[in-house]
Amino acid sequence: MNLHRMKITALIVAGLLACSGGAAWADRGWNSGSGKSDHNQSRSGYYKDARYQHNRYYPRSGHVYKSVPRGYRTVVHHRTKYYYSGGIWYRPSGVYFSVVVPPAGAVVPVLPPYYTTVWYGASPYYYAGGVYYTWYPQQQGYMVTEPPTEGRMSVEPEVPEQLFIYPKLGQSTDRQSADRYECHRWAVDQSGFDPTQPGGNVPENQNTAKRADYNRATRACLEARNYSVQ
């Protein structure tokens, strides 16, 4: 498996399993299905991105925070500094940080934890919060890009079931990533369904059943490795 495919696979698996130690944005509550905000922000400052059935909540452009979430990435583009965390982009605004739309050409090392794959012919675009990303091999990262022409696009089906996992033994982040990837590979071998491939790499009429088989196999593997799976 080449480096590009391994990166995409690991990122997709992380998003599918929605680990409880995941992105700060998911921890804030809006995208967990709870319908509640853990940081007491007014819902009027957020919007639901329903494009391509993405169905995730994001803060509106211009929303201001006193700080950026822990684990953010610093991105410098054309001498302007941005902060990137959980698919949200921030820019310093005095002593605060404003949510902004990132400029085309900015590159990040990882995709948002939740994204929708949009295919333009044989080329995948990754969509989240109004932003499109494409793989940029020159920097081994994902570049913010202009939207593709919608007339030729197809959307990867929405995942009907997400697995939320918790490390019972306090496994490290690296150990969790390795376990998720190894269980993903085992589940693919058992079910014949690969969520990193268009349509799961199975006939359309088998997609739902095979995806369910994949999820069951993944759950069994993770539970055997001392994770609580919900």
In angstroms, how far is CA 41 from the centroid of its own chain? 23
pLDDT, tens only, 63-73: 999 999 887 88
* Distance (Å) of CA 181 to CA 8, 16, 18, 218: 11, 11, 13, 10
Question: How many angstroms separate the CA atoms of 150 and 61, rounded?
Answer: 23
State what percent of residues in the chain have pLDDT above 70. 74
pLDDT digits 0-9 by tens, 20-47: 233 333 333 344 333 333 333 445 688 9
Q: What pLDDT is stored for residue 135 in this prediction?
A: 87
The C-alpha atoms of residue 85 and residue 72 are separated, in whole angstroms, by 5
Kindly state the tokens that stand for 185.
Answer: 């590979």
| Closest to 112 (Cα-Cα) out of 145, 90, 85, 134 | 85
At residue 162, the pLDDT reads 61
**Structure-token match 């948002």, residue found:** 112
Confidence category of residue 131, pLDDT binned at 50, 70, 90: very high
Residue 215 one-letter amino acid = N
Nearest to 133 by CA among 152, 121, 146: 146
**Per-residue model confidence (pLDDT) at position 172:** 82
Give per-residue pLDDT as tens, 196-207. Answer: 666 677 887 787
Q: Which two tokens mark 22?
A: 């995941």
Lowest-confidence region among 15-29, 112-126, 191-205? 15-29
Q: Please determine, for residue 110, whether its predicted confidence score (pLDDT) is greater than 50.
A: yes
- Predicted confidence (pLDDT) at residue 120 exceeds the cutoff of 50: yes
